[in-house]
Amino acid sequence: MSETLRVREMACFALHSAARAVTGYYRPLLDRLGLTYPQFLILVALWEADGRTVTALGEELDLDSGTVSPLLKRLEAAGLVERRREAADERVVTVHLTEDGKALEKDGCEIPGTIAAASDMTVEEILALRDQINRFTESIRKNTN
Amino acid sequence: MSETLRVREMACFALHSAARAVTGYYRPLLDRLGLTYPQFLILVALWEADGRTVTALGEELDLDSGTVSPLLKRLEAAGLVERRREAADERVVTVHLTEDGKALEKDGCEIPGTIAAASDMTVEEILALRDQINRFTESIRKNTN
DNA sequence: CACGATTAAGTTGTGCACAACCTATATGTG
DNA sequence: CACATATAGGTTGTGCACAACTTAATCGTG
């Protein structure tokens, strides 16, 4: 570290900037599917396991209900998911893919794999970087008040 | 890669999640200074070189005028910076720290250094991770339409 | 069974990111 | 010099992130 703080030398800025670069890379690809990046993540979670509760989706994506609820509202308005309040526990809402929502999987699941090529890194390097970032994140969350 | 796409296996999600974890870590520290994380980044850039133009700040932080302008407006309202339209070229606005803005450097510049400790990593490991992320970002930006 | 505590989801308000657009000033070419 | 073009900064509108709060349903303990 230097005595003067420089934006470009800050690890936190590198992360911040990288995350925005990735959503920028995804944007034109997802535009074709009519999706934003967070909406895409919700669909990925549902393609893996349909019928999750709102809370479960929030846990999977590290998001609270204040973010997930409006996201789901927009996905429902787009006809990609359906929300059902459960009879067994009326507090719970489960989220289900519509046929249109299911149909997007074929094109959608191709997109993340293109990141490796676009980053001029091998798949192995990307996965190693991912694991390192995940270890970092876990520690940071543990040490956040 | 697996046949089923999983949120937790996606490198892009790892980045997305890490960036939010970092701003979450910063939040309580910056709250004491009355700053948000993007506002803090603007101040860091100005502590390094005061009197930058709006465009120069945007380039430093990879942000366009639609993001920087309102950010500066809030910082000005908080009394931390001042905007001056230049006589030499009236299109240009330079941004200058007020005394209050300068006074925040002492406390502010301590914060980023605490990330290493909070991440249970050495400074060297953090810097290596930062460099790897920056290489990744550069490639991604180069290969974004 | 009653009632306070907890839980699930949603709402409201603020700030950031970004596309699209606008205005004013400056520049360059004929 | 005139006029098309480029540039700097700002505005508007949409969506996400998140804190704080609300509402409704459920749970747990006496």
Q: Per-residue DSSP letters for A83-124?
A: EEE-SSSTT-EEEEE-HHHHHTHHHHTTSTTHHHHHTT--HH
The answer to whether strand D lies under 7 Å from the CB of residue A145 is no
Percent of chain B with pLDDT over 90: 95
Residues of A in contact with B117 (CB under 8 A): 143
State the DSSP H helix or E strand holding residue B2, giving kind and residue range, or none if neither: none
Q: What is the mean pLDDT of residues B78-88?
A: 97
Q: What are phi and psi of B52, to 5 degrees?
A: -70, 160
Distance from CA of B7 to the nearest CA of A (A): 6
Domains of chain B listed by start with CATH number: 8-127 (1.10.10.10)
Place of tokens 């059902």: A84
pLDDT class for B54, splitting at 50, 70, 90? very high
pLDDT at B145 over 80: no
Phi, psi of B71 (to 5 degrees): -60, -45
Residue A26: strand, helix, or coil: helix
Determine the pLDDT at residue A22. Answer: 97
Burial status of residue A9 (CB atoms within 10 A of its CB: 0-12, 13-18, 19 or more): middle
Q: Tens place of pLDDT for every residue, chain A, 145 residues?
A: 457 899 999 999 999 999 999 999 999 999 999 999 999 999 999 999 999 999 999 999 999 999 999 999 999 999 999 999 999 999 999 999 999 999 999 999 999 999 989 999 999 999 999 999 999 999 999 999 7
Q: Are B7 and A40 in contact (CB under 8 A)?
A: no
Q: Is the pLDDT of residue B88 over 50?
A: yes
* For residues B39-62, average pLDDT: 98
C-alpha angle A137-B122-A13 in degrees, rounded to nearest 5: 50
At residue B3, does pLDDT exceed 90? no
Nucleotide nearest to B23 (CA to C1'): D17
Residue B32's pLDDT is 96
Nucleotide C21's nearest residue (CA vs C1') is B66
Q: What is the predicted pLDDT for the residue at A4?
A: 87
pLDDT (0 to 100) of residue A1: 46
Residue B38 CA to residue A16 CA, distance in Å, equals 10
Q: pLDDT per residue over B93-122, tens digit each?
A: 999 999 999 999 999 999 999 998 999 999
- Chain B's closest residue to A15, CA to CA, is B19
pLDDT at B65 over 60: yes
Contact A118 B127 (CB under 8 A): no
Better-predicted residue by pLDDT, A25 or B4? A25
The nearest CA of chain A is from the CA of B82 a distance in Å of 20
pLDDT at B86: 96
User: Dmax of chain B from CA atoms?
Assistant: 61
Nearest CA in chain B to A132: B129
